[in-house]
Structure 1
Amino acid sequence: MSFKDLKLNKPILRAVAEAGYENPTLVQEKTIPLVLAKKDIVVSAQTGTGKTAAFALPILQLLFDKQDASKRGKKIRALVVSPTRELALQIEENFKTYSTYTNLRSTVIFGGTSIEPQIDVLKKGIDILIATPGRLLDLHKQDIVNLDYIETLVLDEADLMLDMGFIDDVKKIERLCPADKQTLLFSATIPFKVEQLANTILKLPERVEVSPNSSTSKNVNQVLYYVPKRNKIELCLHLLRNTIKGSILIFRRTKFGVDKLEQTLLKNGYKVETIHGDKAQNLRQESLKKFKNGYVNILIATDVAARGIDIDELDAVINFDLPNVPETYVHRIGRTARAGNSGTSYSFCSADEKPYVASIQKLINLQIDVDDTHPYPLDPKAKKETHRTPGKSKHKKGRKSEASKKKKKRWY
């Protein structure tokens, strides 16, 4: 099938061809006709399957007739809600690319950055708005954003949106839009919470499922290392020196962990950048840019910051900390081996993370190869490692009778 078969008009087809795309991906093939038919849909597809274009192209087509309103006369007719700033920026980039030969205007708004320039663009009039929930509600409260004319509402990465605690915001945004709008819900996985949300806000939705949620790319070579928690940094350095080359994305569970690993790698002469939630938006973009342009070859990130960032040509993913949600593992390793390339994922498992491996293997229906030839093997009998809080005595406090506690005179 080609994009022409999807009944898209010439200006959009021209932009798609210039962006280098000849044939639609499976998710685009299934989704675009449904969106053009004004149906509500629930789409389950991993990142990297081309789902942004699956809603961007038909939305541009549906709005094409209204493109010539004067700038001031433009009303926001399509709204895309995205959980993270990186994802919102990427969606906006896609809309800009595909709308090159139309007069449709889009913009992106998100928190963590100055609100004034965003207000200026909105006041000039736009057709398509991409937004993160917090900033959107903020600007709506200030009467800068009017959602009364929304024809299509897109909720992207719905599972992540709910994991991040945006459920009430999402419901509020949905209520602020007209009742007769079309709603498109995209989610990598469809857990119960997402199912519930879909049932409450969508009207007889059509369902599109592309590849089972558990599928990991056949092109990813997955390797597992059992290692004591205290030796993970040594193992990481060992592999970087001897085994892992090229552009590498390292996942850690916490912002603190990201910063700590960054310090160690910098001390050892590696070029490193980081992204996590506490980093200002412009710094996050700067880090991503340096990594994409090859100025540094290692990027350390937390899951929320890395979800949805598009990096082609990624050679390896290191799971420094294993995720406790098995689907997250699939997302992480799906960052490599995209668009037909191959890649490798290296996962470090300490004694307390063994249950995570079990649930990951159950989900992906695959036994991950274990490499036990490294210098820091984990004792197979090792149970969870105990950590003593610094400054706390390991000795029990002296016993005192209740009576002696009561007798004590207070000086205050």
Structure 2
Amino acid sequence: MVTGKSDISGWLVRPAGGSAWAGLAAVLGALTVHTVLVTSDGGMDNAIVVNAARTWLDGESPYDDRHFLYFPSAVMAAVPQALLPRSVLDVLVPVTVTVALALGWACALLLHRVPLRSRLAALGLLGLAAGFAPFGQLVRLGNWTVTAVLALPLCLLLVSRGRWVAAGAVIGVAVALKPLLLPMALLFLFARRWAALALVVLVPAVTSVVAALFLPDPTGFLTRTLPFLVTGDDAFLRLYEASPAAVLPRLGLPQGPATGLALAAGAAGVVCAYRRWRGPGPVALRLAETSAGLMLSAFLVSRPSYNHYLLVVLPLLLAGLPYAGAVARRPWFWLALVPQLPGITWPWLESGRRRAFRDAITLGVLAVTVAYHSVRGATGARGAGGAGGAPEAPGEPSEESRGRRSAVGWVPADERRGSF
């Protein structure tokens, strides 16, 4: 691997031209307007949560709908939407989801100290919107996964600046809205940041308990939703689940061995993520790749596990492209994304009943790539110093990060001892 002085890093961080921003605005605008025209209640998935809030306002239990898989705190968070006219939601939700996705991308860029006016800023978001099918699907569905897409890079941005407690609060609020980021508790455990870890657990726990007291079925999440999440026994959802525990039985492997294989893969992924946490390389890059490893490991195990979950980790990894030691420099990273190119009909993997097989390929290849990079490939970051000579480890600033600006004109994370 080479440093950013002689590769594509310099090109990526230079200011983008007007044509790139115009193209980005056109794609995001078209996607948002199309969603407004073809969806109701902000999308099918958002409608599930809003209908749960409406059900509660009518005096019934939101957990009567088996597809409502959120904590009781999400019911209360959806009440403002339930009080709005449906015509307003049709416009408000797609716009909000698109803006949140863009803000998540911006936080990922700031984590890696990439200028927001750079070519990577414009072309990266354009590539996600136009070249990664789950992006458009997430906007059209209005799925609350978008809260995690924004919360995770914001959390890591705060961590990179030593604000662990604030980062824990961000994850706690995100988990209260949707439990997707719960595996991030392991990052705070790795770092032994107990106050921040307490917020990750207590914020959703306290808000859910308080919210449950106002529900006609206070234990509905524990008695109905939790068993459903454990078994994943739903013929409709199974068509779209990408985890090995859901896909392998459809290929003939018994459920028991498939679940065991998924658990083993997830556990191995956590071990690899810990190795990345303890390994060399720029601080921002280690934060992003450790977190991506933890989340991908969870996606291998969780039921359900959908393709738009990948948007939680993909912006973090893609924004690290200027670093010479980044996993986004690996060819298998890009090959993993090929099945998600929009507008392509894959033989025997067409949309609908078999789309989950495509999603499983992307999830599996991406998880293996990140895990391998965490154990073996990240050693190439030692001494490379990233695109601008970022510090190799907490409390070990590189020569460049002590004050010398990089040749590409930007300065990655400059961490001091004790900030991690």
**Class of the TM-score when normalised by the shorter of the 2 chains:** under 0.3
Greater relative contact order (CA < 8 Å, ≥ 6 in sequence): 2
Instruction: Write 1 or 2 for the structure with the bigger share of strand.
Output: 1
Q: For the pair shown, which has the larger CA radius of gyration, 1 or 2?
A: 1
